[in-house]
Each structure stands twice: as C-alpha cells, then as structure tokens.
Amino acid sequence: MEQFSISKTFFPGVPLIDLSKPESKSQLVKACEDFGFFKVINHGIPTQFITELESEAVKFFSLPISHKEKTGPPDPFGYGSKKIGNNGDVGWVEYLLLNTNTQSDYHKFASIFGEAAEKFRCIVNEYVSRVKKMACEILEMLADGLKIQERNGFSKLLMDEESDSVFRLNHYPPCPTEFGESSKNLIGFGEHTDPQIISVLRSNNTSGLQISLTEGNWISIPPDSNSFFINVGDSLQVMTNGRFKSVRHRVVTNSSKSRLSMIYFGGPPLSEKIAPLPSLIKGEDDSLYKEFTWFEYKKSAFKSRLADNRLGFFEKIAAS
Ligand SMILES: C=C1C[C@]23C[C@@]1(O)CC[C@H]2[C@@]12CC[C@H](O)[C@@](C)(C(=O)O1)[C@H]2[C@@H]3C(=O)O
Ligand SMILES: O=C(O)CCC(=O)C(=O)O
Ligand SMILES: [Fe+2]
C-alpha cells in the first residue's frame, strides 16, 4: 500500500471498509475521527443501478449546451456550468443539482427529455433510495460505535420525509490542451467542506478528487468506480462535538479524460436543531458549537464562498 507523510499527519491511504465484516463498526468510527473520509466495499448496491444512472448522465451531458441550459440556471436546482453557487466561485465543471424530496425540478427536464424525463426520474430515484439506505446503515453503525442510545439518532434525520437532501451529478470535461502547463492547476471544484451530515460519492475511473488533512497539503485520492467514497459533513462534525471531522476536499482537472461523479448529500429537515448530542458532551459548557437549525446553517452557508469556514460563525468562543 502507498504510504506517505504529510507534515504532521501520517496518511496510510484511504481507509477501506468492508461493510460485510463485523469489525467495520469500529473502523468506521476511527476513519471518521482520523480523516472524515473513507471508502466502502460490499455495500450491497447492485452495479446495475450505478451503471444505468451513469449512462443516463453521460447522455445528458452529451446534449448540446443549448439543450442543457433549458434545465438551468440552478436555483439552486437545475443545470449549471462553471459557476458554482451564487458568490463568485467558478470551476471547470458542469453539473445537475436535484432535490431528492420534491419532484418539482422534473418539469424542467420534460422540455428536453420528453418521455425520457420519466425514465431519468425513475433511475435517479432508484439510485438515491439505495444510496440513502446505505448511508443510513453507515450512520447507524457509527451511532452504535459511539454508544449513542438511539441507534437511529443520525439516520432518522435522513429518513425523515422532510429531510433536506440533495443529489448532484458533476461532469468535468478534459481540460483543453491550449491552456498548456497551466491547465494542470485548473480547479474543477474548489476546496470546501460539505455542509450536510454525510456525503456518498461515486465516480468513474478518472482521478481528480483530493482531500486536505492539514492546511495547504493535498492528497490525491485514486479513483475507484467499484467503491463509494463517504465523507463526514459539517452537521455531523457538530453533532459529534468535533469528534468526527468534516473533511476539506476539492477536484482538480484532468487533461485527457472526463470525470463523472454522482454525490448524495444526506441532510436533516430544515427545522431540525443541530447541536452536539448530549451523550457526547459532559455538559452544556463542553459544547464547541452554538445550537442552530439546519435552515439557519444552510442560509448562512449559501451566502458563503466555497472555501470559507462555514462553521466558524457557529463556534463558541473559548473563554480565555
Ligand atoms: C459556493 C457554494 C456552492 C454550495 C453553496 C455555497 O454557497 C457553499 C456550499 C456549496 C456546497 C458544497 C457541497 C454541495 O456540492 C452543495 C450542493 C452544498 O450543499 O454546499 C454546494 C452548494 C451549491 O453548489 O449550490
Ligand atoms: O465531483 C466530485 O468528485 C466532488 C464534488 C464535490 O465535492 C461536491 O459536489 O460537493
Ligand atoms: Fe463536496
């Protein structure tokens, strides 16, 4: 296994967790504490659901730009290109953002997909429901591993009918060679942490994803189309009072191959209060964060730039 040292953090490689093994529970907790990032195998999601969605996504991104733009601009849902969010971030990426709870975005697709819009909707729904189930199983193992009384303490937030979860398809075309050497440094998706509870990422076999464990140092994650990459989001960092780390990550461009990724962001209902779980703190004074609702966090997050530290605003200032 490739081993390398990055300043003070020793990174032995992406933790690989076999979900069918009894030891996976403690491995999941350790991976969330050490890196906030890991990959899972034996996840129980049949390849058919992954490849079907991948081929629909390839078809969608191959459409002429004028067609794709009919499903945008993202509000925040819909098709977007280069512009990420509303606050000046750009990347070498085009994407489709979908709300997993309402089907209201789909009327946008009907205009270009016609009857195929219905098929697209079914394939996305099937994929999302399987990935969500896997995310919930992981969250339940984590709750168990942390000895939280309610095994579904985290997962119930994703299972809630009002859960504010998002699904994203990202397509990074090969970076044009006319940019020469400088294209190597072009950003596909700028550095950030994910605001939600948990993110489940699957990509094709094109590299680009990097994580940062210490400021300014980036670790390239070898792609693996047969596994799912999981990362802890800001909300889970708060609920575990900082014990689990919301990992900073980004995507750099590839000069020859296109990268396609699909990510499920499992979030709580808008009205949900996010705060460290009582069993993970000794008392109120021990809490590193002020309580907030997911609505409040989301509102503030969507005003921020990608690279901003969104949790800073909700941290309790340590008494001197
Ligand atoms: C610049 C931004 C894009 C983003 C909203 C934000 O203002 C800051 C968080 C960004 C992010 C990162 C993870 C997900 O891709 C995303 C959908 C999310 O929930 O937060 C994006 C937002 C976006 O692309 O709209
Ligand atoms: O596309 C990828 O591989 C990662 C993108 C990402 O981090 C995001 O959309 O939040
Ligand atoms: Fe992300």
Average pLDDT, the chain: 91
Please, which residues have CB within 8 angstroms of residue 272's CB and are 6 or more apart in sequence? 157, 160, 293, 294
Q: Is the peptide bond before 76 cis (omega within 30 degrees of 0)?
A: yes
AA identity, residue 27: Q
Residue 65 CA to residue 44 CA, distance in Å, equals: 36
Q: Confidence band (pLDDT; 50, 70, 90) for 63?
A: very high
Give one DSSP letter per residue of 94-159, joined into a string: EEEEEESS--TTHHHHHHHHTTHHHHHHHHHHHHHHHHHHHHHHHHHHHHHHTT-SSTTTTHHHHH
Q: Is the pLDDT of residue 303 over 80?
A: yes
Q: Is the peptide bond before 195 cis (omega within 30 degrees of 0)?
A: no
* Coil, helix or strand at residue 278: helix
Atom in ligand 2 nearest the alpha carbon of residue 189: 5
- What is the four-CA torsion angle of 303, 318, 29, 99, rounded to 10 degrees? -20
Q: Name the percent of the chain lying above pLDDT 90.
A: 79
pLDDT tens, residue by residue, 200-214: 999 999 999 999 999
Return the pLDDT at 296: 98
Instruction: Using the mean position of ligand 2's atoms as its centre, give its distance from the Cα of residue 151 in Å.
Output: 29
The lowest-confidence range among 95-104, 190-199, 237-246 is: 95-104
Q: Confidence band (pLDDT; 50, 70, 90) for 48?
A: very high
Q: Is the pLDDT of residue 185 over 80?
A: no
In this structure, how many other beta carbons lie within 10 angstroms of the beta carbon of residue 219? 19
Return the pLDDT at 49: 95
Q: Confidence band (pLDDT; 50, 70, 90) for 115?
A: confident
Q: Confidence band (pLDDT; 50, 70, 90) for 180?
A: low
Residue 238 CA to residue 245 CA, distance in Å, equals: 9
Instruction: Using the mean position of ligand 3's atoms as its centre, give its distance from the Cα of residue 178 in Å.
Output: 28
Q: What is the mean pLDDT of residues 263-270?
A: 98
Q: Residue 267 burial (CB < 10 Å; 0-12/13-18/19+)?
A: buried
Q: What is the mean pLDDT of residues 239-249?
A: 98
Establish whether residue 164 lines the binding site of ligand 1, counting it when its CB lies within 6 angstroms of any ligand atom: no
Q: Is the pLDDT of residue 99 over 70?
A: yes
Return the pLDDT at 7: 42
Q: Confidence band (pLDDT; 50, 70, 90) for 179?
A: low
Residue 198 CA to residue 305 CA, distance in Å, equals: 20
Establish whether residue 260 lines the binding site of ligand 2, counting it when its CB lies within 6 angstroms of any ligand atom: no
Q: Confidence band (pLDDT; 50, 70, 90) for 255?
A: confident
Return the pLDDT at 270: 97
Instruction: Using the mean position of ligand 3's atoms as its centre, give its distance from the Cα of residue 250 in Å.
Output: 7
Kindly tell me the sign of the dihedral angle through the C-alpha atoms of 29, 30, 32, 33. Answer: positive
Establish whether residue 189 lines the binding site of ligand 2, counting it when its CB lies within 6 angstroms of any ligand atom: yes
Alpha helices in 146-260 (DSSP H): 155-159, 234-239
Q: Confidence band (pLDDT; 50, 70, 90) for 8?
A: very low
Q: Is the pLDDT of residue 65 over 90?
A: yes
Q: What is the mean pLDDT of residues 229-254?
A: 97
Residue 282 CA to residue 287 CA, distance in Å, equals: 8
In this structure, how many other beta carbons lie within 10 angstroms of the beta carbon of residue 6? 14
Is the confidence metric ipTM above 0.95 for this complex? yes
Establish whether residue 166 lines the binding site of ligand 1, counting it when its CB lies within 6 angstroms of any ligand atom: yes
Establish whether residue 267 lines the binding site of ligand 1, counting it when its CB lies within 6 angstroms of any ligand atom: no
Higher local confidence (pLDDT), 83 or 8: 83
Q: Which of 82, 194, 234 to mutate to test the pocket of ligand 1 (most atoms within 8 A of CB)?
A: 194
Return the pLDDT at 92: 96
Return the pLDDT at 57: 96
Q: Is the pLDDT of residue 312 over 90?
A: yes
The lowest-confidence range among 13-22, 105-114, 162-171, 269-278 is: 105-114
Kindly list the catalytic residues: 259
**Reported pTM:** 0.94
Ligand 2, atom 4, lies closest to the CA of 251
Residue 19 CA to residue 21 CA, distance in Å, equals: 6
- What is the four-CA torsion angle of 120, 124, 127, 132, rounded to 10 degrees? -170
